[in-house]
Structure 1
Amino acid sequence: MSLAASPIRFPDLASRTVMTRRAWWLVALNFLIPGSAQVLAGDRKLGRFGLGATLALWLLAVSALVMWIFWPAVLYTVFSTTITLWIVAAVLAFYAVLWVVLTLDTLRLVRLVKTAPSARAGVALLTVVVMAVVSGTAAYGAYVATTASGFLSSVFIAGPSEPPIDGKYNFLLLGGDAGPDRDGLRPDSITVVSVDAETGQAVTIGLPRNMADVPFDEGSPLQELYPEGYGSIDGCEVDVCMLNSIYTEVELVSPEMYPAAVSEGSEPGIEAMRDAAEAITGLPIQYYVLIDMQGFLELIDALGGVTVTVPEDVPIHADETFTTVAEWIPAGEQHLDGYHALWYARSRYGTSDYDRMERQRQIQQAVLAQFNPANVLSKFQEIAAAGSQVVKTDIPQGSLGYFVDLASKTKALPITDIELTPVNDIDPEEPDYEYIRQLVSSAVFPPEEE
C-alpha cells in the first residue's frame, strides 16, 4: 500500500470504523515506539526527534544490560557517583516531558470525535494511562536519582580508595547505642568483617563490648597511655574500662589524640576503636561503618519491618535502667517494627551480653534480607531519609560500585562467624589475645590459602 493511500496518514474521515481502528493503532504505537505515531500520521519533524530519542534510550538500556552482565562492577561504579546520578536525573526528566508531549500530540492525531462513540472513552483512558505509566516512571526515576545522589553524598566521603591488604578488605562495624543512662555514645555491637577482595568470601569476628585489658599496637596514641592494655594499671578516664568505653573516653576526654579524624570522615572515638580492633584481631582495618542503633528503628520502619525467629521470650523494658519489664516479644517467628526490633537487639533483662550479640546479628541479617530491589525502590524516599541519619562511614563514594559488586559475591557464599566469647574458649574479662589473633588468622587465612 502506498503512503498516499495509507489510512494512518490519510484516513477516510467519514468511516468511524477506520478512524476507530486507526486510533487504537496510534495509541499502541505511541506506547511501543514513542515518536512513530508522529512519523506516520503527524508532524514528521517531531516524530523523527521522538524516534531518535527513543532509539538512543534503547541503546543506552542495552549497553547498561550488557555491562551489568559482563562488567557489573563498572556499572555499579558509574551509577554510584553524584555527577552520574544528576545526569541520569536530567535525562529521565527530559524523557518524562518528551513522552507527555508525544502522548498529547497522539491524542490530537487520533481525532476522537471521528471515532465510534463507544470507543472514545476507552481510547482516551488508554492514552492517559500510557502517559501516566511512561512519563510517571521516568519522572519517578529522576526523583530517585536525585534522592540517591543526596544520600550518597551525605553518607560516603570523597577521597582516595584503600587497596586490599594481603588480598583482604577489613571493615569495622559499630552499632552505637546512646542513652540517658550513659555519657555519650558507646558501641554495643562491635564486629570486624574480613572480605576476600577477589572471591567475596567473608569472615565476621564478633567482639564482646566487655573485653578487658584491650591492647594497642605500637604507633597508636593509646599504646603510650595504656602500654599494658586499656585500664590494666591505673584504670581509665571513664567509669568502666571495657572495650566499648574506649570510644567514649577518646571522644569526650581526649579527642586531640586523633587530630585528623574529622577531616578524614571519621571521629576520634571511632579511630580509637579501630586501633583497638586491629590490635585484638591482628587485622589491619581499612574502613569503618557506624550504625546509630536508636536511628536504626527508623530504617526498619522504612523497610516495612523485619522478620526474625525468636528462640525464647524477650523482654521490652519500661525504663532505661533495663530492670522493669513492660511487655514481652514472644518466642517463634515474629515480624517486628522498628521499636520492637530495637528492643529485641538491646534487651538485657535476664540475658547475657552474648545473647544480645546473637540477637543483634539476627536483626542485621534480617535487615539485609529486606534490602531487595522491589522493597528499596518502592520505599526509597523513606529508606534514604532514614539511612542518611543512621549510617556514618569513611568508605569513599568512588569505591562504592566495587564494594556493591563484591557484596553480591559475598551474599552467594557461606559466611564464617567467629565470636570471641566462651563458646570459643575465650573469657572476655581475661582474654588471651595471642590465642585470639591465632584463631582469627586461621579463619581469615585458612591453610589452603597459605
Structure 2
Amino acid sequence: MNRSKSHIPGWLAFALSVAFVLSSVAVIIFAYLTFQVVMKRPLNPVESDAVAVADVDLQLEQAGPAAAPTVSVGMPTPTLFPTHEPWEGTDRVNILLMGIDRRPGEAFISRTDSMMVASIDPETETISILSVPRDLYVSIPGRGRDRINTAFVYGSAGNSPEGGASLAMQTVAYNLGVPVDHYVMVDFSAVIRGIDILGGIDVYVPQPLNDPTYPDMNYGYDPLYIPAGTQHLDGELALKYARTRHVDNDFGRASRQQQVILAARDKAVSMGVGSLLTKAPSLYQQVESGIKTDLSLELLIALARMVSEIPEENIRNEVLDYNYVSSYRTETGAQVLVLNNATAAPLIQELFYGE
C-alpha cells in the first residue's frame, strides 16, 4: 500500500473509517462503552491508586520474584514486537480497542479502563471479541507487574498517546499470547455523539437495572433506572447502561458493554454505508477529537468491505471472568485479578488461533 498517493478530503477519509467502524462488529468508535467506572478517582493518572500500586510493586519486582501466582499451561507466545506487512486480505487482523478516561479539554493520556481485543479472520469469515478486565495483574514490559490498565499511562510518558498505545499492545501480546496488529482509542464524547448520530440503539434489558449511586460528571450521583425489556437508548443512556457496575459486578458490566457494541453494529449495518456517509461531515466535526488509531485508510476500507458481510452467527464475544481469572491480594494490599492459564489458554486458542 502506498499511503502517499491518497488525496482524499479529510472528512471523507474519516467518514470511510467510521463506515468501517460502525458496520463491523468491533464498532471501534463505541468501544469506549467498556470503560471502567472511575468518576470517584483522581483524574490525573499519576495520582491514581493503580499507578501508586505500580510504583510499590515495581520495587517488589526488582527486589525478587513476583508474588502473584501463575499457572504455566500452553499459553501462546507471539513476537513481542511484531512487524506488519501490507495486508493482503487473507490474514487475521487483531485490533486492541481502548477506552480512555478523558474529560473535555484534557490530554489523550489516562488509564485504559476498558480493553478489548477484536479479531477479524477473513479465511473463516469470523470475528472474535475478548474483554480484558482492568484489574488484571500482569507483567508490563520494562515496568514490572501492575494492573493492565496502567500500561498505557507508562508508555505515554512525555505526552505520547502513541507510545502508550504501543506499550499497551505489547503488554496484551506478552501476557495473553495474542499478537496485536493495530489499536483504536476513544473517549466519552465519541461514544455519546456517535450513538446519537446513529439515532440511538435498541437493547434488550433482561431485568430491571437500578443504580441509585451512578456517578455524575461532578462527582455526585445521577440515579439510574432502566426497566426490563427492549429499550431504545440514546448516546448518554447507552453509555450509562454500559458503565454501571453496581447492579452486579465488572463481569456483568463487560457483558452489557459487548451487548451495546453489537447493538450499535446492528443499527449501523441496517442503515448502510451510504446513509452513514451522508452524515459524515457532522460526524467528523463532533467526534474527530475523541478518536485515535493507527489503522490506515486503505486497511479501513478493506476491512469495511469484508466485515459488513460477516453474518451475526459468526461473531463470538467472551469476557475474561472468574472462569478464567482469580482474585489475588498483592503484598501491598491491592486487590487484583490473576490469569488462570489452565482455563484461559484454551479460550485464547479458540478465539485467536482457530484451534
> Which residue, 387, 390, 400 being the options, matches 2:300?
400
> Which residue, 201, 204, 214 being the options, matches 2:129?
204
Letter paired with 1:148: L
3-state SS, counterpart of residue 410 of structure 1: coil
Contact 1:155–1:393 at 8 Å: present in 2 too?
Answer: no
CA deviation vs aligned residue, 1:413-446 (integer Å, no higher than 9, x gap): 5212222111x34226132246423430133334
**Is 2:254 the partner of 1:346?**
no
CA deviation vs aligned residue, 1:261-292 (integer Å, no higher than 9, x gap): x6xxx612211211111123212111111121
Is the alpha carbon distance of 1:432 and 1:149 closer, same or farther for their aligned partners in structure 2, counting shifts above 3 Å? closer
Give the Cα–Cα distance (whole angstroms) in 2 for the partners of residues 154 and 420 of structure 1: 28
CA deviation vs aligned residue, 1:323-349 (integer Å, no higher than 9, x gap): 734342222211111111111111233
Give the Cα–Cα distance (whole angstroms) in 2 for the partners of residues 378 and 344 of structure 1: 28
Give the Cα–Cα distance (whole angstroms) in 1 for the partners of residues 11 and 85 of structure 2: 24
Unaligned runs of 5+ in 2: 21-83, 328-336
Unaligned runs of 5+ in 1: 1-76, 87-145, 217-221, 232-241, 257-261
Contact 1:303–1:383 at 8 Å: present in 2 too?
Answer: no
Is the alpha carbon distance of 1:305 and 1:396 closer, same or farther for their aligned partners in structure 2, counting shifts above 3 Å? same
| Deviation (angstroms), 1:368 | 1.4
Corresponding residue of 1:444: 352
Corresponding residue of 2:12: 148
| Deviation (angstroms), 1:401 | 2.3
Letter paired with 2:352: V
Identity of aligned residues (%): 25
CA deviation vs aligned residue, 1:106-153 (integer Å, no higher than 9, x gap): xxxxxxxxxxxxxxxxxxxxxxxxxxxxxxxxxxxxxxxx74146569
| Deviation (angstroms), 1:201 | 1.2
3-state SS, counterpart of residue 101 of structure 2: strand
Higher mean displacement: 313-322 or 272-281: 313-322
Instruction: Report the count of equivalent residues.
Output: 274
CA deviation vs aligned residue, 1:292-317 (integer Å, no higher than 9, x gap): 13431011111111111122314373
> Which residue, 166, 180, 189 being the options, matches 1:271?
166
Corresponding residue of 1:426: 325
Superposition pairs of residues 93-104 of structure 1, within 5 angstroms: none
**Is 2:289 the partner of 1:289?**
no
Give the Cα–Cα distance (whole angstroms) in 1 for the partners of residues 13 and 224 of structure 2: 41
Letter paired with 2:111: R
Give the Cα–Cα distance (whole angstroms) in 1 for the partners of residues 17 and 240 of structure 2: 30
Corresponding residue of 1:305: 200
Is the alpha carbon distance of 1:368 and 1:161 closer, same or farther for their aligned partners in structure 2, counting shifts above 3 Å? farther
Which structure: larger Rg?
1
Letter paired with 2:123: E
Letter paired with 1:278: A
Contact 1:290–1:392 at 8 Å: present in 2 too?
Answer: yes
3-state SS, counterpart of residue 314 of structure 2: coil
Contact 1:82–1:149 at 8 Å: present in 2 too?
Answer: no
Give the Cα–Cα distance (whole angstroms) in 2 for the partners of residues 174 and 432 of structure 1: 23
Is the alpha carbon distance of 1:244 and 1:376 closer, same or farther for their aligned partners in structure 2, counting shifts above 3 Å? same
3-state SS, counterpart of residue 125 of structure 2: coil
3-state SS, counterpart of residue 290 of structure 1: strand
Superposition pairs of residues 26-37 of structure 1, within 5 angstroms: none
**Is 2:110 the partner of 1:185?**
yes
Give the alignment's TM-score, normalised by structure 1: 0.53
